[in-house]
Amino acid sequence: MLTQLALLVSLLTIILREAICLKVGVAKVDATLPVGVPLAGYGERRVPDWPLAKETKYTTWMLPSTGHLTPTWVKALVIDTGDEQICFVTVDAIGSDGTLAELAYDIATSKGFRIPFDNVAMFGSHSHSGPGAITPEFLWAVVPATDLLVPELQEMFATSIANAMLQAQENLQDGTMGIDIAQLKGVTRNRRAGVSPYLHEDDIDPNLGVISVNDGDGKPLATVWNYAIHGTCWGSSQLLSNGDIMGGVNDVLETMNSGVAMFINADAGDISPGGDTCSGEPNFQGAPVIAKAVMDARNNTKMSDNVEIRVATQVVPFGETNLNLTFARVENCTSGGPVDICSICKVLNCDVNLHLNEAWVEQNPKFGAFAFNIDGTNTGMVTIPGEALSDLGTEIRNDLLNMKFDNVLLGGYSNNHMGYFATEREYDVGGYESLLTFWGVDTAERIRTNCTLVAKKVAP
């Protein structure tokens, strides 16, 4: 009887083992928009003689792009454990916009995409030379960082996103995956050093998370790298669309047998490329350095098909902004950034507290949490709907580590874009990132607690 039971148990184990069958699919779609679209990112790219001149049918007050340096890529990764299906979408764009994500999702589902919206996360790389005019929020349009929405361009871009999602789903095949977290220093710097008395150039987030995906024969299908870095290697005078440093790293990775290389930004609100990272344009010196660190981490990753995924999402209403433009906070404002808040403030005499509604800026962000249990090692990932400063990123990471996740990935610039998230300390210091923190002094704390709440739902 006992031996029969033992036999039954081992048979069941074999059957269950067989049932664990990881499927993975990846796709890469060229989503380059026509020459003449505005490039989202820098406020200086405005037409000098506006409103007298309107340069192309795609621009209102921003300068049109004059060509393409590299394609604008949209890439999608679908992971199916049998119990749960998720889809990560990366776009070479300044951010991720909720309206765009929903439009893309609707197009995809109308053509047979089956994964629930809650299990899809869209990440903007934060390239400052990606397409503008594809999002409706008036604040970004007017500052000007993205220019006015052109529905035709939005539809084109959403269709490319939908196609990437659909192709990744069609490409599903047996595979393996693994996650490794490495450390990378020397390629970024904290840009608030000098503005904030608390921050030094070396106060960066060194965590380099790498999700590796192979096909059933062990061939690399995709490499997702997660790191905090601003896409500002190219300046505002550059009018060719391109993926900036993160796109450059992806291109190098794909020559190194990474499979499709995808980038998810992290807590890069105050983290710029540093050292020699941007030298040697258009082939940035930092690109092969970062790519090598990613591939080293990939080589270090144990691959498995024993994967369990849990997903939780929560849409949280933030309400109207508390955009405090009190002049005290503008004192050390770095003039000439993408949004020239200093100049705007001088005009407004800056003693106002603007309560802007969702026509101006998104305020119902979707927080997503993804837990990966790979051979018993637990990785937690939360999405952050905008630009977390690195000290907020550290707090969120520690919250997740305290929930017994072994590894943490921070999915910044994801799903929605609500501006910067400066912690209370940095909010009080003032400066550019503080001024663009729209819900008052506790904005970052609200982001943090909501990230933590959603992560708890999938904690080990």
Ligand X SMILES: *[C@@H]1O[C@H](CO)[C@@H](O)[C@H](O)[C@H]1NC(C)=O
Is residue 276 involved in binding ligand X (CB under 6 A)? Answer: no
For the chain, the straight-line distance linking the first and the last C-alpha, in angstroms and rounded, comes to 36
The binder of ligand X chosen from 324, 383, 407, 423 (CB under 6 A): 324
Own/partner pairs, 137-141, CB within 8 angstroms, 24+ separation: 137/97, 137/358, 137/359, 137/360, 137/361, 137/362, 137/417, 138/359, 138/360, 139/356, 139/360, 139/361, 140/40, 140/361, 140/417, 141/60
Q: Which of 83, 174, 202, 331 binds ligand X (CB under 6 A)?
A: 331
Which span (57-65, 170-178, 384-392, 426-434) binds ligand X, by CB under 6 A? 426-434
Cβ distance 39 to 65 under 8 Å? yes
The single residue among 450, 454, 455, 458 that binds ligand X, judged by CB under 6 A, is 450
Asked if 123 contacts 73 with a C-beta cutoff of 8 angstroms, the reply is: no
The answer to the question of residue 326 lying near ligand X (CB under 6 A) is: yes
By the rule CB under 6 A, 296 interacts with ligand X: yes
State how far the Cα of 113 lies from the Cα of 273, in Å rounded to an integer. Answer: 37
Q: From the list 440, 456, 459, 460, which residue makes contact with ligand X (rule: CB under 6 A)?
A: 440
Span of 38-46, 64-72, 102-110, 293-301 interacting with ligand X by CB under 6 A: 293-301
Q: What are phi and psi of 362, to 5 degrees?
A: -60, 140
288 binds ligand X (CB under 6 A): no
Which of 75, 329, 366, 417 contacts ligand X by CB under 6 A? 329
Calpha distance 69→77 (Å, rounded): 25
283 vs 300, which CB is nearer to ligand X?
A: 300
Amino acid symbol at 274: G
Cβ proximity to ligand X, 322 vs 394, nearer residue = 322
Minimum distance of ligand X from residue 13's CB (angstroms): 32
343 touching ligand X, by CB under 6 A: no
Q: Of 92, 225, 430, 435, which lies in the binding site for ligand X, with binding defined by CB under 6 A?
A: 430
**Amino acid type, 350:** C
Question: Is residue 388 at the binding interface for ligand X, with CB under 6 A as the rule?
Answer: no
* Binder among 446, 456, 459, 460 for ligand X (CB under 6 A): 446
d(CA 357, CA 136): 13
Query: What residues line the site for ligand X (CB under 6 A)?
Result: 292, 295-296, 299, 316, 318, 322, 324, 326, 328-329, 331-332, 353, 428-430, 440, 446, 449-450, 453
